[in-house]
Structures are given as C-alpha cells and as structure tokens.
Amino acid sequence: MFLLLGILVSTKQFAQQVPSAQENIACLVTFGINGDHSWGDDDFSQTVFFSIPKNQTTPFYIRVFDPETFGDLDEISNGWDTKIKYSIYGGKDSYYDKDARGINPIGNYKSGILIESRIFGSEAATDGKWISFGPFNPQQGELVSEFDSYVFKIVIDGLKGDDGNGYKLFLSVKNDDNIAMEGGNAFAYEYSVRLLEAKNSISHVYPYADNLITGFKIKTFGFDNDGDIKLYSSVKNGRIINTSNNKEWSIDSQPIVEKEKSKCLDLQIVKSGNSKNNFVICVTNEYDVPVPLFSKPLGGLPRYEYTLKILKTVKGSTK
C-alpha cells in the first residue's frame, strides 16, 4: 500500500461511525458461538481497526451502540442467552501480525496488547444506548508507517448462545457523545453486516486497491441472492458480481487496471427483498491477501468516467 499514506494525510476523514452513513448499512452483526450459519454469520467474530493520526495528542474513546443482545436491533433464536465480548488491542503487532488482518478468527488474530475488554449478555439497560470504552492514549496503538497513524483494533467475539447481536461503533473524542476525530478513520478486512430492510435500498462497501494489485477476488457468504452486487470505479460501470446462496460462499474475480489503483472502488449492494438479511463480504488481491474495506472511500467516491465520441460531419456529404 505504498501510496496509501498520501491519501490519508490529504483527506479529512469524518465518517467514523461503523458502518458509516455513506455505506448505508443497517449495522454490524455478530452471533453467539452456537449460532446457525443460515442466519448469515460465517464465524461469529468481527474485527474493526481505527487509525489515529500522529498529531492527535488528547485521549479518545471507542463507543458501541446497543452492545448487548436483547431488543429491536438484535435477533432472538432460542431465548436471549447470548454473550458477546468486546476487546480492544493496541501495541506491537496488533495490526502488523498477518492473522490480525485475516478473514478468519484463527491463529494470533488477537495479537497485540489487550487494553480493555467487556462482556455483554442480555442486559436491558444498554438496549438502544451508546456505551464508551476508554479513554485511550493515541500512543497506546501500534504505529503503522503506511498510515502515518497509530492503529487500534476492536475484536467482537460471540462467546455463547445462538442469538444475533446488531451493533454500531464510533471513534469519538468525547466520552458521552459521538464527536468525530479529525484525520481518524476506520476499516475492516471482513464485514459481517445486516442490510437495510427496504426493497431497492443501495448499500456500499469500499475495498481499497493499492498501487501493486492486479485483481480483486470478491467473496460473499449467505447473501441469499437478495438482489445484485455491482462493482463501480472510474472504468467499471456496475459490473455484476456473483453472489452466494444461504450458508454458501461465492467468489468473483475482477481485474484491476492502472486507473483504479491507489483508491477505493465501490461495491453497490442493491437489495431485492424487504426482510432482514445478514451476510458476510470480504475482498482479497490476486494472491488471496485481504484488502481493507474503508468506512469512507479513500480518494473520494468512485465515479465512472464517461467518454464522449464526437462525430465529424463532412461538408457536402449526404450521409
């Protein structure tokens, strides 16, 4: 990701809710460890990274909306019996360990120094409310050279039960309010999400193509054929992506050309039904190395560049 630094420094990032308003996704979803894969969660774990600019000197907070598994945003299976653990890591190898940036909760995916963790069950007191982790000193994170930022990660694991926990995250400079940090950002390497229920609603996922990549492998799990997924960029105008059935993975390979490098592309998810649908999406490069999915697209919103053809009229021609 050689050219990533310049984009991060030159772009003010205020989309620090995960999922962001631009993504237009209902919420993140993590089921209890005994969950049924048919409900759309492949591994009952989610990891999200936050980058904190080096010039941030004051403490910050990572906030969670609706952290427990009980209420309208959550999905009951056999009674509210699920426990979810939120763990925040910083320090050496919290980002650079390759398992941390994988798409499966295996190996050393909880790398780094554990700074804070809490377990939530079915407590009604936090239903529909924001809670805060922190305060954190920016230098407790791992300094990542390509971002020129300190990086923290939050790992959300289903410990027990089979219910679905819907929740949102926010990187904030305040303990009791969602106030974005200038220059901060959020990204993940796999997204387990719930789409909006409205038919024809359009959600977005923004995978980043670095300056060395030659192709994307776009993978989905449990999409239930609930509409279309289309890939947009400056040279791709809604290319249709293969999608998955219930409890199945799909894979679709797409070439990346020079004009698409060092910026995000736009995977638009156009929903066909009007019911709840959880699914998982990730993108890798041609060597199966996961690429980051940013909450706000680096390099701006991807837009297809139309070309105009000018027809020359020959004087005196009758054609």
Which pLDDT score, from 0 to 100, does residue 8 have? 45
For position 159, what pLDDT does the model report?
Answer: 96
Q: Which phi and psi angles does 125 have, rounded to 5°?
A: -65, -30
Give the model confidence (pLDDT) of 44-103 as tens digits. Answer: 999 999 999 999 999 999 999 999 999 999 999 989 999 999 999 999 999 999 999 999
Asked if residue 287 belongs to a domain, the reply is no
**Would the pTM of this model clear 0.85, i.e. be above it?**
yes
- pLDDT at 16 (0 to 100): 87
Contact 51, 290 (CB under 8 A): no
- Asked if the structure places residue 265 within a domain, the reply is no
Question: CATH no. for residue 25?
Answer: 2.60.120
Distances (CA, A) of 299 to 3, 170, 259, 296: 11, 22, 12, 9
Strand partners of residue 18: 169
Question: Contact at 8 Å (CB) between 97 and 90?
Answer: no
Q: How many CA atoms lie within 13 A of 294 on its CB side?
A: 26
Q: Which helix (H) or strand (E) holds 10?
A: helix 4-10
Residue 40 lies in a domain: yes
Q: Let me know if residue 245 belongs to a domain.
A: no
Q: Distance between CA atoms of 107 and 118, rounded to whole angstroms?
A: 22
8 A C-beta contact, residue 43 and residue 105:
yes
**What range does the domain containing 167 cover?**
4-201
Neighbours of 224 (CB within 10 A): 20
In a 3-state reduction of DSSP, which class is residue 230? Answer: strand
Q: How confident is the model at residue 3 (pLDDT cuts 50, 70, 90)?
A: very low
How many domains would you assign to the chain? 1
- Give the DSSP letter of residue 124: G
Domain presence at residue 206: no
Q: Per the domain annotation, does 319 fall within a domain?
A: no
Tens of pLDDT along 217-227? 999 999 999 99
